A = this chain, B = another copy of it.
Amino acid sequence: MTRILPALAVAVTLSSFGSFTASADPLPSWVSSGTKDQIVEFVTAVTTPDSTDYVTPADRIAVFDNDGTLWAEQPVYFQFIFAMDRLAELAKQDPSILTTPTLQAAAKGDLETVLQGGHNALIEVVNASHSGISVEAFQAAVADWLDTARHPETNLPYDQMTYQPMVELLRYLRDEGFQTYIVSGGGLHFMRVFAEEAYGIPPEQILGTYANTTYEQVDGVPTVIKAPGIAFIDDKGGKPINIERTIGKRPILAGGNSDGDFAMMEWTSAGEGPRLGVLIHHTDAAREWAYDRESPIGKLVDGLDKGPGMGWVIVDMAQDWSRIYTGAN
């Protein structure tokens, strides 16, 4: 009997663990509220085999914006801070690359002046700091920056300013058979450096804005090089276009926080059968930032006005989240 008892013990342990897992709250950083209930009810409905809203796992596609939805985006998109830092470093070696007032301001870290130039100025700085380099070398530079750079207000590493409740939501969805994608206006190559570790999302499930790339022999080695010029802007109507092109299916769940996400969420909601939009409303000036209709970054008007009519969950960060950043309590 001594050889059988350990096996029984293992069986009991596994069974206890299984029921513990099943009853544990998959979203511990979400305050109990109508918001949380609506999300859990949707997921339960589409994953319960005898539900009329059941969706087969292959069609459980969930897409999420990144900046302002999965991590913070103030005072400006974090990739842009990287771009300014990198431009300053490149200019140390060759100051002649700072050919315009915008680039000169950016290299000085003068964000205010750069932002006065609007989105075109942002693109100019990104272009100047992100091209003429292999994808591998670029991503190594991003990794180095993430290791050392700190956010000016929180003093956290940028990749610890991911939202803990959203990291939980992504994991919960995958545990329930969803495929989770990022669909962001941010740069594809930039996001791929941290998204797998931060969110559990692998490179092939990251969609973003991308520059031109070329295929070249560099010292006899076939290499993909980041070239000047933006090839595709993954924002507004570009988001559903990119999803259709890359995934080939209309998502059943879409999360976003700004009007740049509106088309993606609207297209998701317009599909047949159960659909859910999850709109993150930045309402927490104490723990994060509070902004919406008037913000130059993350402007949100259409989602607030039209989202509720499409059944979207509006997440009130101050009310609905017990914790904000993954990197701090």
Q: Residues of A with Cβ closer than 8 Å to B?
A: 58, 135, 179, 188, 192, 202-204, 206, 210, 213-215, 221-222, 224, 237-238, 240-241, 244-249, 263, 266-267, 270
B-side contacts of A246, CB under 8 Å: 204, 246
Task: Select from chain B the residue with minimum beta-carbon distance to A202.
Answer: B58
Complex CA gap A237/B202 in Å reads 24
Please measure, in the bound complex, the distance between the C-alpha atom of A214 and the C-alpha atom of B237, giving whole angstroms: 8
14 A–B contacts from the bound complex (CB under 8 Å): A135-B244, A188-B248, A203-B247, A203-B248, A204-B248, A210-B245, A213-B241, A215-B241, A215-B267, A221-B270, A222-B240, A222-B266, A224-B240, A224-B241
- Complex: chain B residue closest to A203, CB-CB: B248
A248: B residues at CB distance < 8 A: 188, 192, 202-204, 206
Q: Least Cβ distance of A263 to chain B in Å?
A: 6
Contact A215 B263 (CB under 8 A): yes
Copies in the complex: 2
The answer for the CA separation of A270 and B179 in the assembled complex, in Å, is 31
Q: Which residues of B contact A267 (CB under 8 A)?
A: 215, 222, 224
By a CB distance below 8 angstroms, the chain B residues around A204 are: 179, 246-249
Within 8 Å CB of A238, what residues of B? 215
In the complex, which residues of chain B have a beta carbon less than 8 angstroms from the beta carbon of A192? 248
- Bound-state Cα–Cα, A146 to B270, Å: 29
Q: Which residue in chain B gives the minimum CB-CB distance to A205? A: B204
Give the chain B neighbours of A188 by CB distance below 8 A: 245, 248
